[in-house]
Structure 1
Amino acid sequence: MEKVDITIIGAGVIGLAIAYEFSQSFKKDILVIERNESFGKETSSRNSEVIHSGIYYPKDSLKAKLCVEGKNLLYKFCEKNNIPYKKCGKLIVAVNKSELENLNFLYENGKNNGVDDLQILDRKQIKNLVSELNGEYAIFSPSTGILDTHRFMQKLEFESKQNGCMFLYNNEVVEIEKLNSDYKLVIKNKNSETTGVVSEIVINSAGLYSDKIAKMLSINDYKLYYCKGEYFKLSSKYKNFLNHLVYPVVDKNFHSLGIHTVLDLSGNIKLGPNSFYVDEIDYSVDPTHIDEFYYGIKKFFSFVQKEDLSADTSGIRPKLQGPKDDFKDFVIKEETEKGYKNFVNLIGIESPGLTSALAIAKYVRNLLFGSIN
């Protein structure tokens, strides 16, 4: 049976970032196991590709701290490695004065989290940035941006492989057993053939399936809810119409950031995501949901017509926050207290997981090995 030092379950952006961080920090045998045929096939590739600034999350939460740290790390990584990105900035727009209280809350919350470049704009200043945008007030976040997520993940995988990290695709972990000081993982391939690997350290970054992986060791504390978000695209006639992201104001107990504009690096515009809980993973888009997107964009840009919209894609977020729950933070925990030394769970890594990925990897490294200068 093969023996490795570190096994990472899941090759989404979090698993890849951990593989990259560990493989450049240590001379250890590292194995990444992924159930799909390649990296980033689920939540990591089905999102808005936004680099968030850190406005929304409660002060001192992991989401707040890792987002602010991760944003800076991500921009540096993109610059160093020629990953396409654009620091386009974001407007969070109050369309009437009734939204001003929540807008001011977000502004103060962002400042408390260390986002030091936020600006409050009035109607005239909004028009100076986006002349067609309807809004009474807005927060402008200059450090929000977008990136090519696929190129980012591709580079993480490439560098990890260059550092000796092994990747096992089309294989799924189906059983984990605690040995004396190691873990035995049973792995099943697409032909239902099983094999085993023994690992000193196991990192569960399995995204949508991370709570199920934890349950394999009878760690039953975590329950994930699947929260689906759909996207509709705007007609190509709007290409390059916007230079900044436009978001609505959300309340303090938000479950999503609301339907907003989504820009890609070619200037195309999508709208989304909406947000609703589902029991099964299904990436189809319901075209009858078009009104939600149409009225979501219409309040900002009154000239957009319903026929300008068409169904595009969707993603599913692994949320610890149920439909009636308040804020839930990331769970990033080494489980020695439960009797599982060197087993790390990463549960509920939804937004801002992409932005936070490199910071999360450093956080996990420090959990296991302490701070390394």
Structure 2
Amino acid sequence: MSGIRCVMSRALSTQHGIRGHSTYDVVVIGGGIVGLASARELLLRHPTLRFSLVEKEKDIAMHQSGHNSGVIHSGIYYTPGSMKARLCVRGAALCYEYCDRKGIPYKQCGKLIVAVKHEETPRLQALYERGQQNNVRGLRLINASEIKDKEPYCRGVMALDSPYTGIVNYRQVAESYRDDFQEAGGSVLTDFQVTHIEMVKESPAESPGGMEYPVVIRNTKGEELHCKYVVTCAGLFSDRLSQVSGGSAEPRIVPFRGEYLVLKPEKCYLVKGNIYPVPDPRFPFLGFHFTPRMDGSVWLGPNAVLAFKREGYSLYDFNARDFTEAVTYSGFRKLVLKNFLYGVGEMYRACFLGAQLKGLQAFIPDLSRNDVLRGPSGVRAQALDRDGNLVDDFVFDRGSGDIASRILHVRNAPSPAATSSLAIAEMIASEVEQRFEL
């Protein structure tokens, strides 16, 4: 019987629109890595319930989950005792274990956080102590000659060596989560863009799900799903989807595009593992770094500039609503004022490749303009509060009115969400169980 259910589930997910059943116990909205991991975890915990996951694109992991750097982070940067620190450390261990179990290739190539100036070494030492408090395995401070042993072309006076940092193809990981979900009986519906989430208004006799399934989810084509409970993990559109069900407009999602350079194939020997700068607490982002990829390429970057469209991967992508909402939001204006010079520098580096190269040459002096090409871009869903602060923790929202007892919005699942996805899924599943009394 379970085999028949598995085959039916796989068949349903290969089409578009409403297929087979339209009533479910729980519907998860969002086919990124966090939504997929959460749906998988919930179904594994509650195999007798009917679950569906819906995604607006024609495939899963099309945005943040498929456009990230692919790093398995170790948990060095985050405040000791914080949720992010705990989830990253646990998430990295679970990620390696999962990849081993599923035969998903990865490389534990390590990471060096490199101080190129002596004045950076106190911050590096503080970072080492933070990593120790977070129980990150194998951390050690190394000197200039040891840097050369690990990265022959890298220059630095001191570095923090994190040997358990790795790389993986997160799209492949996300696809494996989807397969697990389907094989356990879950239904994946793609090309399903949600426009309405509301309580049934008709009488029980007129509603396909009756009052047993009182929540109706409607898409752009007018198709409907009926369910008992809803969980949203909508990434770049998490704020808008929350507002659909009466949730708060804040925190607001402001999209930042990160643009990468790539090393020419014949120059990839210059980088063996991840090379990162010492983070500057004055600035909101980590800065340029060197990232080897599973396909053998090496990405350099990214910068961080306002994207004029929430899913705008090109400089010329523009959406009037997305742009207007971002620039008129008080939180964004305050962020710009607090980081004006940094923002101007990022825009300048985005326009002039030579400016990006200069920052990279501080770590690998042998790099030249002829060694690099413009590469891919990603868009980060940055949650901002009205005071211009980056929201650095998880945000849950239940909307308002009658539907509040039936819905849970994951408004912010901050980086490194891909690394932490299995640990985040455990937390979300527990939150869902508590709120919905599953």
Question: Structure 2 length as normaliser, TM-score?
Answer: 0.79
Which one of 391, 407, 421 corresponds to residue 343 of structure 1?
407
Whole-angstrom CA distance in 1 between matches of 2:164 and 2:406? 36
Structure 2 matches for 1:66-145, cutoff 5 A? 66-145=87-166
Specify which of 57, 76, 81 is matched with residue 60 of structure 1. Answer: 81
Bigger Rg over Cα: 2
Cross-structure match for 1:35? 56
* 1:155 equivalent in structure 2: 176
Q: Distance in 2 between matches of 1:321 and 1:65?
A: 22
**CA distance in structure 2 between the partners assigned to 1:338 and 1:99 by the alignment:** 52
- The amino acid that maps onto 1:124 is S
Residue 185 (1) aligns with residue 249 (2) = no
2:305 and 2:385 map into 1 onto residues whose CA distance is 11
Q: Distance in 2 between matches of 1:266 and 1:219?
A: 42
Structure 2 partner of 1:311? 374
The structure with the greater share of residues assigned to helix is: 2
Q: Does 1:215 align with 2:243?
A: yes
Equivalents in 2 of 1:259, 1:157: separation in Å? Answer: 32
Which AA in structure 1 matches 2:426?
A: K
2:405 partner SS: coil
Shift of 1:342: 4.1
Residue 433 of structure 2: aligned partner: 369
Alignment of 1:262-281 (within 5 A): 262-281=291-310
Which amino acid in structure 2 is aligned with residue 187 of structure 1? Answer: N
**Distance in 1 of aligned mates of 2:315 and 2:265:** 20
In 2, Cα distance between equivalents of 1:366 and 1:15: 14
Partner residue in 2 for 1:357: 421
Task: State the secondary structure of the residue aligned to 1:224.
Answer: strand
Contact 1:232 1:309 in 2 (8 A): yes
Distance 2:400 2:83 in 1: 20
CA distance in 2, matches of 1:55, 1:338: 41
Confirm or deny: 8 A CA contact 1:90 1:141 kept in the other structure: yes
Q: Report if aligned partners of 1:94, 1:249 keep a CA contact under 8 Å in 2.
A: yes
Q: In the alignment, which of 225, 229, 232 is matched to residue 254 of structure 2?
A: 225
TM-superposition CA deviations, 1:201-231 (whole Å, max 9, x none): 2111011001101011221132111111001
Structure 1 residue 135: deviation in Å?
Answer: 0.1
Contact 1:206–1:213 at 8 Å: present in 2 too?
A: yes
Give percent identity, aligned residues only: 29
Aligned residue for 1:194?
Answer: 222
**Rounded Cα–Cα distance in structure 1 between residues aligned with 2:109 and 2:394:** 30
Contact 2:88 2:419 in 1 (8 A): yes
Structure 1: gaps spanning 5 or more residues = none
The count of aligned residue pairs is 367
Q: CA deviation at 1:3?
A: 1.9
**Maintained 8 Å contact 2:280/2:286:** no
Superposed, which structure 2 residues align to 1:40-51 within 5 Å? 40-51=61-72
Amino acid aligned to 2:218: V
What is the Cα deviation at residue 182 of structure 1?
Answer: 3.9
TM-score scaled by structure 1? 0.92
- When the two chains are superposed, the root-mean-square deviation of aligned CA atoms in Å is 2.3
